[in-house]
Structure 1
């Protein structure tokens, strides 16, 4: 089997959609002798901030001499980055080897049970567990959930630490229409006796999380209660228990990144306190300051300034608007926006209009991408237009700042084009 044949087989699973539940995963993993039981896993869930938080933790552990596997989604530049070791995507040959292991098991699932066909995300999750649990041992594996927690295909292992980055109204058709519904699903990450580091701004949701923590005799470490983050002119101060770190200056912009980094620091402190990791705090903070994550307020070009950001729901758009408004208060901003189905389109567009001098919409080659005409109908900006060829539009742009945002899949396409140009 070639690498491309393996990828094609994986991506064919996309047609089976999203099927919440872990029974298929449990059946397949048992056939593979439960490799998920062999990892030192940290489980990260949340509506926004998962990828950045994973990256902060991974980099800090790397700086302290540990090898770290990560599982993230979606990919921005190459499929292989979804399963990475110390920030480096695994080789093509390993992808092929993994497909050859999991393909027969997924076929057996379909032939021998009434559980249905494994989805694309389940296949990739299984590949990750096989890789780190059987083929390539690492000190830690940081696992980013795909959708929710309770019924997510990643929720089949016993973690040593759990992190809940945020709760927001996303994937409501699957997770529920209210913040409480979504909190109930994401509380599925909580395991008996395992600490949860979390940030939940909604009072009702927060109360529910505390209830589940109490039922599971699990320690809750909460931002703005146990963890104090104090912003100071681009830097921030972190306090948790007896720990007090001053003058932390991140490479990634925005208050939300300071919050994500604070969650990561608290989780690492807790691992250290529990004897699960031995950490040098200076190395940890240096790693935090150096951490970057593709597609998050990332500058692709300087003249003119081209910024990409995968703000794919209301909360992410709010964070983007606040950060851009703070960093570029007197600049002329042109927005190029695209989105996929199932997103709160009207409110996302409305928030972005507040910082836009011109608002352009487009579409892109992805099964769930919305037609640009549908997006355009939601835009009320007086200076709005539809863009047929977004690559040509970006390359011909001669204004002040071009902000390319919306779906992470859209951002991924833009990033891959830029990478190909630079080769």
Structure 2
């Protein structure tokens, strides 16, 4: 099997859709000797902020000379980055090796049980557990959940720390229509005796989480209660327990990034307190400050100014709009937008319309991409258009600022275009 054949086999499983539940994962993992039991894992769930929080923690641990594996989704530049070590994607050879291990277990499950076929995400999750739990052990593995928590494919290991970054109305067709429904699913990350660092704004949801924490005899560490974040111009002060760090200046902009960084710092400090990590705090903060995460208010061109951001639901779009208003109020913002099915489209384009001088919609080559015609109908803006060739549109742009946003899958396409442009390929 070569690399492309391996990727094709994985991607073929997209047609099996999303199948919540962990029974298939448990069967396949047992078949492979339960590699998930061998990792020192940190489980990160939430509607928004997961990827950034994972990156903050990974960078801070790397600064303290720990080797860190990460599992993230979706990928922005290359498929392999979903399974990475110290920020570097696994090699093509390693990916092929993992497929050759996981494929027989998946096929055996189809033949020997009535559990059905493994989904694409389940296969990739299996590969991650095999890589870090059997083939290439690391000091820590930070596992980003895919969808929800309780029934997510990643929810099959006992972590040393759990983090819940946020709760918002996303994937409502699967997780439920209310914040409390989604909270009940996300709270599935809580394990007996394992601390949870979390940020939840809704009072009813917070009360539910505290009840689950109490039932599991697990410590809750809550932003704005136990963790105090005090912004000061572009910097912020962080307080938790007896810790007090001043003048933290992030490489990523926005109030939401300060919150994500604060969750990461608190989780690392709790690991330190519990003897699960030995940290030099100066190195930890330096690691946090120098963290970047592709596709999050990322400048991909300065002349002209082009910014990309994978805001793909209400909460992330509101954070993007607020940040753009604060950081670029002097700019005339041109918006290029695309989205996939199942998102609160009207709300998202209405928010974007607040900052857009002109609003342009497009579609891209992806199974769930919405047509530009469908998106166009939802946009209420006096200066709007449909873009057939978004690459040509970007190349011809000569305005103040082009903001390209919407689906993370769309942002991945734009990011790859700029990467190829930079390398001349």
What TM-score comes out, normalization by structure 2 length?
Answer: 0.99
Q: Which runs of 5+ in 2 are unaligned?
A: none
- Tell me the equivalent position of 1:104: 104
* SS in structure 2 of the partner of residue 292 of structure 1: coil
Hey, what's the Cα distance between the residues in 1 that align with 2:359 and 2:103? 45
2:381 equivalent to 1:354: no
- Tell me the equivalent position of 1:34: 34
- Tell me the equivalent position of 2:158: 158
- Tell me the equivalent position of 1:243: 243
* SS in structure 1 of the partner of residue 378 of structure 2: coil
- Tell me the equivalent position of 2:274: 274
- Tell me the equivalent position of 1:329: 329
1:330 to partner: Cα distance: 1.8
- Tell me the equivalent position of 2:287: 287
- Tell me the equivalent position of 1:255: 255
1:113 to partner: Cα distance: 0.5
* SS in structure 2 of the partner of residue 62 of structure 1: helix
- Tell me the equivalent position of 1:73: 73
- Tell me the equivalent position of 2:7: 7
- Tell me the equivalent position of 2:17: 17
- 1:36-51 correspondence runs (5 A): 36-51=36-51
Deviating above 3 A after TM superposition, structure 1's stretches of 4 or more consecutive aligned residues are: none
Hey, what's the Cα distance between the residues in 2 that align with 1:260 and 1:69? 19
Once the two structures are superposed, residues 244-293 of structure 1 have per-residue CA deviations (whole angstroms, 9 ceiling, x without a partner) of 00000000000000000000000000000000000000000001110000
1:303 to partner: Cα distance: 1.2
* SS in structure 1 of the partner of residue 391 of structure 2: helix
- Tell me the equivalent position of 2:398: 398
* SS in structure 2 of the partner of residue 357 of structure 1: strand
Once the two structures are superposed, residues 132-168 of structure 1 have per-residue CA deviations (whole angstroms, 9 ceiling, x without a partner) of 0000010000000000000000000000000000000
1:121 to partner: Cα distance: 0.1
* SS in structure 1 of the partner of residue 308 of structure 2: strand
Hey, what's the Cα distance between the residues in 2 that align with 1:102 and 1:417? 32
- Tell me the equivalent position of 1:319: 319
Hey, what's the Cα distance between the residues in 2 that align with 1:419 and 1:14? 26
- Tell me the equivalent position of 1:131: 131
- Tell me the equivalent position of 1:140: 140
* SS in structure 1 of the partner of residue 356 of structure 2: coil
- Tell me the equivalent position of 2:93: 93
Hey, what's the Cα distance between the residues in 2 that align with 1:113 and 1:252? 47
1:54 to partner: Cα distance: 0.1
Hey, what's the Cα distance between the residues in 1 that align with 2:97 and 2:303? 44
- Tell me the equivalent position of 1:210: 210
- Tell me the equivalent position of 2:420: 420
Hey, what's the Cα distance between the residues in 1 that align with 2:149 and 2:89? 24
- Tell me the equivalent position of 1:64: 64
- 1:105-120 correspondence runs (5 A): 105-120=105-120
- Tell me the equivalent position of 1:345: 345
1:417 to partner: Cα distance: 1.1
- 1:372-391 correspondence runs (5 A): 372-391=372-391
Hey, what's the Cα distance between the residues in 1 that align with 2:161 and 2:366? 35
- Tell me the equivalent position of 1:194: 194
1:126 to partner: Cα distance: 0.1
1:421 to partner: Cα distance: 1.4
1:420 to partner: Cα distance: 1.1
What TM-score comes out, normalization by structure 1 length?
Answer: 1.00
- Tell me the equivalent position of 1:309: 309
1:233 to partner: Cα distance: 0.3
Once the two structures are superposed, residues 203-252 of structure 1 have per-residue CA deviations (whole angstroms, 9 ceiling, x without a partner) of 00000000000000000000000000001001000000100000000000
Once the two structures are superposed, residues 349-382 of structure 1 have per-residue CA deviations (whole angstroms, 9 ceiling, x without a partner) of 0000000000000000000000000000000100
Once the two structures are superposed, residues 89-130 of structure 1 have per-residue CA deviations (whole angstroms, 9 ceiling, x without a partner) of 000000000000000110011111001100000000000000
Hey, what's the Cα distance between the residues in 2 that align with 1:215 and 1:51? 29
1:304 to partner: Cα distance: 1.2
